[in-house]
Every structure is written in C-alpha cells, then in structure tokens.
Amino acid sequence: MDLTITAIGVNYKTAPVEVRELFRCPVKGDRLEELPYLANLEGVEEIVLLSTCNRVEIYALLRDEKYTKNLLGEFLRLKLGNRPVGKFERYFFVKTGREAVEHILSIPAGLSSMVIGENQIVSQFKEAFELARKHGTLGKVLERLYQSAMKTAKRVRSETGISKTPVSVSYIAVLLAKKIFGVLEGVRVLLVGAGEMAELTARYLKAEKAELFVTNRTHAKALQLAKEMGAGVVEWERFKEFLRETDIAIFSTSADSYLLTADEARRLLRKRIDPIVFIDISVPRNVDPKVGELEGVFLYNIDDLKAIADKNLKTRLEEAQKGWLIVREEADKFLRWFENLKVDNLVKELNRLVDLLKEVSLSDDPKESLDRFLKRFLYTVYKSLKEHPEALESLVENLKRVVENSKPSAGVGKVSDLWKGRI
C-alpha cells in the first residue's frame, strides 16, 4: 500500500460553464449525495468534494495512485448517466502527490481563483471539509491538509498584498467616490438605468450607508429595483433636474446617444458648490466626455475604471508569485509530516507481520523456533536489500550503533558460540 493524495476536477480554466454545470454537486440540507458513493469506492481512504460555480473538485487520500483513474471514471459515470464519458473526460485535470497538495493549499488562499485573491472561496472551502466531516469521509490526513491549507491562506493574505488592491470595476468606482467625499454615509446616489454593473456599484454604496435613488425609462423596473435596494424612485422625465440634489450619478443604460450633454450639465450645475461624481458604465457612453471638463465635476467611464482594475490585477499577479512561494513552503511541511506518517504506518505493519512470523515459526523446540524465525526474517531482509541496495549502507550503520550501545547479559558466552550454526 502506497498512500497517495490526489486532486481531480473541472474548473473555469479547464472547462466552459456549460460543462461545469453538468458536474455540479448541490448540497441538500446537510447532505451531499455524491460523497458517500465516492467514499465507498475501492481504494478510497478519505475524500472531500468541493462544488462552486467556478469549480467541482475532488480531494482524496487513496491506498495507491492506481485508484485515481477509477475514481475519475466513477465520478464521470455518476454525473453523466447515459452520456458518453470519453467526450467529457478531457475537461478534467488529475494531480497527484506534491502537485495535488500544492493545488489544494492554493485554493483557500485565492491563488487559483478566477479573481486572484478573492475571499469567497475561503468559506466555500471550509463548508466542503465540514460536509466531509459530517459524512465521515474526512480522516487524519485530509484533516491535517485542511489545517495546512487554512494556515497557508492566512499567511498569503497577511504576508502579501494579494487582497489589498481591488480588481472589481464596481468596487473601484466606490473607492474613487470615497476619495472625493471621504465618508459616504448620507451621500445621495442616483442610479440611471439598471445595468448589472451599475446595480452592483449601487449596492456597494448602499453598504456604505449612502442614500439611493433609482430612475428608469420603464417605471415598473425602477419600482422593482428600488424595492430590492430600499431606494427612492425618481421619474425618468425629471432625473436631470434631480442631478442638482445628487452627489453621485451612476449611468448604465442602452441609450445610443448622450443622456447628459456638456451644455445640460453646465446649466444644471451652474450654482452648485459641492463636487459631483458621474460614473458612466454604459457602452455607448451616456455622458458627454466634455462634462468631465466642468469645474467640480469628476467623470469616470468604463475604460477609466477598467484601467485601474487592470493595473491592480497586475499588482495582484505579482503578489501571487509571493503567495506561491508560501504554498511551496507549507507543502514541504505537510509532505514531511505525510512521509513520516507513512513510515510510522509501515513500522506498525512490520511489527504486526513480525509477530505473525513468530507465531508461524513456533515448534516444540524453542531453539528450532528461533532458527525458523531468523531464517525467514533475514531472508526477507536480504531479498529487500537486493531490490533496494541503497538501503544497505544505512542498515549496516544503524546495526553498528545498536551493537556498540548494547552489552551482553551476564553469564552469556561468546556471540559466535551462542549463534553458531543458527544461520
């Protein structure tokens, strides 16, 4: 038995969303139906199943690496039913040994996420291992690997800047607003349109306790969004006039021409003293670029926000390299522990087999029993040393130390006399 850690799965790097959807493993209550089935497969000692929108991955301790192919095949058959397995197998990655350990350690650290350094994966990773505990499929090895992974995640986030530079366009817009207004509590925000990115930006602002208002060409949509966000509603026909009372306006509509021209903005904001921020996330743009030239006006379009996001992403990628060094350090520590565990298990098995060998070597004559035992035992040792001669030198050195540190019992004659003819 040669215990092996393996990682098998599909993720956003290996498969498109329509393929990942086929292998999604939803939790029902506190049950994950696929887990008990996989845990009972031949060769599986421990197993964890992580299923998110971006990845479906299996982490397992196997009795031998040869069981990896069977585990993958059974999972494919379980999820695909009558669909051809071969068509989808190419989307799966298979990692074993150090490669698998480093991959698993990288997950909660956000190093393998679509958005490098994102935090949501931490709770998803924890939930996956908690489910394995509840199902009784988590044992000593994967539990230790989980602890190592959480330690790695903590180190990566505290020792690198991977999470310190935002890469979400929506969140960057909020940070820019904070730079202008300082505290955003009580700041009036008008959401023009109902684009997904603009809505997300507004939600971030809501979390900062800003006061939200919504306007839309379709009044029913404005009412629905306002209800969801706890916002006020502004009639579409008067939203431009409402800009006089607004601190931040987020534009996200499908209009094919400017909704706000420079002349309109100049007229509306002529007597305004406080600054105003326009965030134009629309393509085509909703706000005339010349509006940004007016005094007291800060205008950001999608390219401005994307440029900052790309710069921050570059910084994150650079910090991620430091994170991978931490992953390798922690992998080294875990693998040393794992190898020692395997040696301990082998020693226990050796002791058990030695005891069995003593039993099967027993006869009425104690000396004959000892002779049988030694011949059989030493034959096995010599055979193993021929197959692995590199261990011979170590065995000799260790035996020397044992002899040097041992003393014969009182009344025992020469060693050569005692053991003469025994071997």
Which residues carry out catalysis? 53
Q: Are 37 and 21 in contact (CB under 8 A)?
A: no
How far apart are the C-alpha atoms of 310 and 290, rounded to whole Å?
25
Work out the angle at residue 33's Cα, subtended by the Cα atoms of residues 32 and 34, and round it to the nearest 5 degrees: 95
Instruction: Kindly give, in sequence order, each residue whose CB lies less than 8 Å from that of residue 76, ignoring residues fewer than 6 positions away.
Output: 85, 88, 89, 92
Smallest Cα–Cα separation from 9: which of 142, 334, 129, 22?
Answer: 22
Q: Give the DSSP letter string of 332-395.
A: HHHHHHHHHHHHHHHHHHHHHHHHHHHHHT--SSHHHHHHHHHHHHHHHHHHHHHH-GGGHHHH
| φ and ψ at residue 261, rounded to 5 degrees | -90, 170
How far apart are the C-alpha atoms of 5 and 146, rounded to whole Å?
13
Kind plus residue range of the DSSP H or E element containing 38: helix 34-39
Q: Give the DSSP letter string of 102-140.
A: HHHHHTTTTTTSSSTT-SHHHHHHHHHHHHHHHHT---H
**β-sheet with 55-62: strand ranges across:** 44-51, 55-62, 4-11, 93-96
